[in-house]
Amino acid sequence: DAPAAGKVSTRYDLDKETELRFEVEAGEAGEPVELELITGMGEVFGSELNRNKKYTFGPGSKIAVFTWQGCTVNLYGKPEVAYVSKDTPMLLYLNTHAALEQMRKQAERDNERGPRVMVVGPTDVGKSTVCRLLLSYAVRVGRRPTFVELDVGQSGVSIPGTVSALCIERPADVEEGFSVQAPLVYHFGSTTPGTNIKLYNKLTSCLAEVFSQRCEVNRKASVGGCIINTCGWVKGSGYQALVHCASTFQVDVVLVLDHERLYNELKRDLPHFVRVVLLPKSGGVVERSKECRRDTRDEKIREYFYGFRGLTFYPFSFEVRFSDVRIYKIGAPSIPDSCLPLGMSQDDTQLKLVPVTPGRDLTYHVLSVSSAEDGEEGVRKGIVESPVCGFIVVNAVDTQAQVMKVLSPSPRPLPRHTLLIMDIRFMDMK
């Protein structure tokens, strides 16, 4: 597979322990860039490159090719930026992996559980990248770690507005990341934990419980431990959510990226047996603007319905009668304590299921299809804690006919009839 005709080729000779960083221009103007390893060995965020294979990176990609021993690579096309850096924290990250691997070995010997690791830090410090690296390294030495994604803004597993867990069985694909098969996904409904912190904490606990149950019956999962990616919100309730996560998952290690104050606060507030480690961020991590984050979120939803790269999905569009579904929003608007009914607390209102009367304002909203069995009152209690089985988007609402037109990955009928509304909207431009 020769590079596309007319693409300029640039050769880079990389010394050992250096990395080539490049960015592909975002948007319509961005032309994909191809990468090929010619000699030696190199890796992209913990996944090894095959020699003489061309990897394609689309608009907006920000990539680092790191080499432990030295290598030569070719880039085909015109990246927006491309430079070699000698100054990377990769050795520290590898040492972190080695320490975690020691803990797994010890767990194996003593019939205990492997390390549960939480990665924290402000936005744009490379948290997701560090998670990917540690997971890929672990799986490369034969472990089966679990990835827990708590970043509701930029999820690496499902669409935005969700929290999820995924068993990692092979290193991330160089171009596409981890293969997402059968993840466990919960509906949160918005892109920042602050919109409903009680719900966020509740879902974190749900994930922790399911993970612990799995560890009890699956020794490999237990020894592999987990790597938890968190949101970049590290103050106030955001900080409290991190402390809650550490406690509910009973984490053993917290990796703090590039934030000394957060490091000190967590050292102060977490039990003494939790190892809190401060790590530098990589100079290669690229800051992303609000628009860029919004575009990435949109793209994630588009991918869910339409597929990406070689894999094209053909979603369905059909009408759903209002009378056939029940739509809820999780969380009632907060009211002053003094106005709450006797015996009710704010917690109850934030976790309450509020029925939504379908109307035009539903248009473009993303809805989660809850896996909760369709039934009456009795099951309503379990809806918040039930995983979701998929998502649909409302493309149009006809209040006269009492129907809405939805975009769905599967044909009608919907597998379940309990729908949860997200704040997130998606306009289908296809």
17 in contact with ligand ATP (CB under 6 A): no
Nearer CB in complex with ligand ATP: 64/414: 64
Minimum separation from the CB atom of position 22 to ligand ATP (A): 8
CB of 66 to ligand ATP, least distance (A): 8
Q: How far is the CB of 103 from ligand ATP (least distance, A)?
A: 23
Q: Copy the structure tokens of residue 27.
A: 């948007």
**Footprint (CB under 6 A) of ligand ATP, residues 229-248:** 232
Per-residue CA distances from 331 to 51, 155, 351 (Å): 52, 22, 5
CA distance 160 to 189: 8
125 binds ligand ATP (CB under 6 A): yes
* Segment holding 217, helix H or strand E: helix 197-217
Which residue stretch of 7-15, 30-38, 281-289, 317-325 sits at the interface with ligand ATP (rule: CB under 6 A)? 281-289
In the set 151, 252, 258, 265, which binds ligand ATP (CB under 6 A)? Answer: 151
Distance in Å, CB of 310 to ligand ATP, minimum: 21
Of 10, 72, 74, 123, which one interacts with ligand ATP (CB under 6 A)? Answer: 123
Nearer to ligand ATP, 123 or 363 (CB): 123
Among residues 136, 154, 162, 418, the one that binds ligand ATP under rule CB under 6 A: 154
Q: Find the helix packing angle between 90-110 and 127-140, rounded to 10°.
A: 50
Measure CA 391 to chain center.
16
Stretch that binds ligand ATP, among 162-170, 219-227, 282-290, 422-430 (CB under 6 A): 282-290
**Nearest by Cα to 78 from 119, 22, 162:** 22
Rounded CA gap, 183 and 168, in Å? 10
**Which residue has the closest beta carbon to ligand ATP?**
284
Q: What is the DSSP letter of 411?
A: P
Task: Give the residue with the Cβ less far from ligand ATP, 148 or 383.
Answer: 148
Classified as helix, coil or strand, 56 is strand
Give the closest residue to 26 by CA, choosing from 56, 55, 54, 62.
62
Residue selected from 96, 196, 222, 282 as contacting ligand ATP according to rule CB under 6 A? 282
Two structure tokens written together for 184:
């466990």
Q: Decide: 409 and 302 in contact? Cβ < 8 Å.
A: no
Cβ neighbors of 358 (< 8 A, separation 6 or more) are 322, 327, 397, 399, 402, 404
Q: Is 21 in the site for ligand ATP (CB under 6 A)?
A: yes
Q: Is 285 in the site for ligand ATP (CB under 6 A)?
A: yes
Q: How many other C-beta atoms can be found within 10 angstroms of the C-beta atom of residue 236?
A: 10
d(CA 90, CA 35): 21
Q: Give the DSSP H/E element, type plus range, for residue 205.
A: helix 197-217
Is position 80 an interface residue for ligand ATP (rule: CB under 6 A)? no
Q: Which stretch binds ligand ATP (CB under 6 A): 46-54, 76-84, 119-127, 373-381?
A: 119-127
Residues 6 or more apart whose CB falls under 8 angstroms from that of 264 comprise: none
259 near ligand ATP, judged by CB under 6 A: no
Q: Looking at 18, 47, 128, 386, which residue binds ligand ATP (CB under 6 A)?
A: 128
d(CA 207, CA 388): 13
Q: How far is the CB of 202 from ligand ATP (least distance, A)?
A: 22
What is the x/- site pattern for ligand ATP, positions 159-198, by CB under 6 A? ----------------------------------------
Please give the residue ranges that form the binding site for ligand ATP (CB under 6 A): 21, 62, 64, 123-129, 151, 154, 232, 282, 284-286
